[in-house]
Amino acid sequence: MTFTEGRQKWLTVAEELATALRVDAAERDRLGESPVRELELLRQSGLLTIPDWGTQQAVTRVIGAADANIGHLLGYHYLQIWRSGLFDTPFETGDNLFWAGVSNPLDAALRLTPVDGGFVVDGRKTFATGAALADKLVVSATREDNGEKLTFLLDGGAPGLSFAGDWNNMGQRLTASGGVVFENVPVPAANVLGAQPDGDGSPRLSLAALGFQLVLAQLYVAIAEGALGEAARYTRSTTRPWFLSGVDTAAADPYVLATYGELVAQVEAAGLLADHASEALLAASDAGTALTVDQRGATAAAISSAKVFSTRVVNDTTSKVFELCGARATASGYGFDRFWRNSRTLTLHDPVSYKAREVGEYFLTGGRAPFTGYS
């Protein structure tokens, strides 16, 4: 099987699962239940096991277009395995296991206490997407004795670990993104991947923050693609032509066609920009310890560019599709609002204006984004 054939195989599997998810996506969004069934479909499909970076990115977009919630879980699953590998510490990915993370950079509430054989961790973290359903967790916490921040692995069912189930936001309702509570949870020394460096000490380890930003950009493109696809199906089958248009179908209205054309061009451009950023991050990751701060800076700028543009495109697209479908499309049964709600929820993850500033500074002065949990 060639590389191209292997990718096509997984894309075919992803398209089949996407078709199934799309059937009841609006209804599942309304119910807002934990995505246990959807995760089982991911397991059964084999998509959790894809090792190839480019295929992972493409599959995340396909699944995310059908259901942004499940695309989010899948994209973060791939991300957590990849970022764990940045530490160059051997670990087992397991057989068809689902991975998630607990590492909000602005929520340093987890405390590691040294004990014989490792540590125990206590505290509470918020916005841990998919953690409540994960087989494996990638967790970051701070040592109480010396302030060092460590990243380590835990089993999803570790003793002392509980989940608040308090995710109640307007979008991404099926991502199990609630809080996680740690009460004297044991962390064997063998589970520690390594320490996160302060400042600019390790360009490669700092790539984890860029990986999160890339997943978000890919999801923005996926949501825009999903909204366009759903709107197109509705326009072809249901939208009535305006009585002054002089045409028999909405799909023949020149204004409708022009608007679709603008949106399609923007979404395709956003997708190409996200793919370019993905290739840049893969090259930076593959550079290993030879990665320079200059290459890391260029990679950060590429990802920020994709984030800035895809943010604008997804928010514009998920709003404008209503104009293409008409007033009747606002009926709750169609669920077109889920695209906008998911978009608005995800694009507020961190201020996009700071990403635009980073791109502008890199272009104008060569200044590189600081190494933070978001850049």
Do residue 227 and residue 105 come from a single domain? Answer: no
Q: Which pLDDT value is given to residue 139?
A: 96
Do residue 271 and residue 346 come from a single domain? Answer: yes
Q: Is residue 94 part of a domain?
A: no
Q: How many domains does the chain have?
A: 3
Residue ending a domain, choose from 167, 195, 223 = 195
Q: Which pLDDT value is given to residue 202?
A: 86
The full 3-state SS of the chain, as one line of letters, equals CCHHHHHHHHHHHHHHHHHHHHHCHHHHHHHCCCCHHHHHHHHHHCHHHCCCHHHHHHHHHHHHHHCHHHHHHHHHHHHHHHHHHCCCCCCCCCCCCCEEEECCCCCCCCEEEEECCEEEEEEEECCCCCHHHCCEEEEEEEECCCCCEEEEEEECCCCCEEECCCCCCCCCCCCCCCCEEEEEEEEEHHHEEEECCCCCCCCCCCHHHHHHHHHHHHHHHHHHHHHHHHHHHHHHHCCCCCCCCCCCCHHHCHHHHHHHHHHHHHHHHHHHHHHHHHHHHHHHHHCHHHCCHHHHHHHHHHHHHHHHHHHHHHHHHHHHHHHHHCHHHHCCCCCCHHHHHHHHHHCCCCCHHHHHHHHHHHHHHCCCCCCCCCC
CATH of the domain at 332: 1.20.140.10
Provide CB contacts within 8 A for 154, sequence distance 6+.
136, 137, 139, 161, 185, 187, 191
Do residue 171 and residue 28 come from a single domain? Answer: no
CA 375 – CA 370 distance, rounded (Å) = 6
CATH of the domain at 75: 1.10.540.10
Q: Is residue 200 part of a domain?
A: no
Q: Is residue 202 part of a domain?
A: no
Do residue 141 and residue 286 come from a single domain? Answer: no
The boundaries of the domain holding residue 213 are 207-365
Do residue 118 and residue 75 come from a single domain? Answer: no
Q: Which pLDDT value is given to residue 5?
A: 74
Do residue 247 and residue 312 come from a single domain? Answer: yes
Residue ending a domain, choose from 85, 114, 147 = 85
Q: Is residue 92 part of a domain?
A: no
Q: Is residue 370 part of a domain?
A: no
Do residue 124 and residue 260 come from a single domain? Answer: no
CA 191 – CA 121 distance, rounded (Å) = 13
- Name the amino acid, one letter, at 43: R
Q: Is residue 189 part of a domain?
A: yes
CA 251 – CA 179 distance, rounded (Å) = 46
Residue ending a domain, choose from 195, 216, 251 = 195
Q: Is residue 93 part of a domain?
A: no
Do residue 285 and residue 263 come from a single domain? Answer: yes
Q: Is residue 181 part of a domain?
A: yes
Do residue 222 and residue 342 come from a single domain? Answer: yes
CATH of the domain at 133: 2.40.110.10
Q: Which pLDDT value is given to residue 339?
A: 98
List per-residue pLDDT tens for the chain, 375 residues long.
445 778 999 999 999 999 999 999 999 999 999 999 999 999 999 999 999 999 999 999 999 999 999 999 999 999 999 999 999 898 989 889 999 999 877 777 899 999 999 999 999 998 899 999 999 999 999 999 999 999 999 999 999 999 999 999 999 999 999 999 999 999 999 999 999 877 666 899 999 999 999 999 999 999 999 999 999 999 999 999 989 999 999 999 999 999 999 999 999 999 999 999 999 999 999 999 999 999 999 999 999 999 999 999 999 999 999 999 999 989 888 999 999 999 999 999 999 999 999 999 999 999 999 998 889
Retrieve residue 299's tokens: 């990679």
Q: Which pLDDT value is given to residue 199?
A: 65
Q: Which pLDDT value is given to residue 3?
A: 56
Do residue 253 and residue 126 come from a single domain? Answer: no
Q: Which pLDDT value is given to residue 196?
A: 84
Do residue 133 and residue 46 come from a single domain? Answer: no
Do residue 222 and residue 349 come from a single domain? Answer: yes
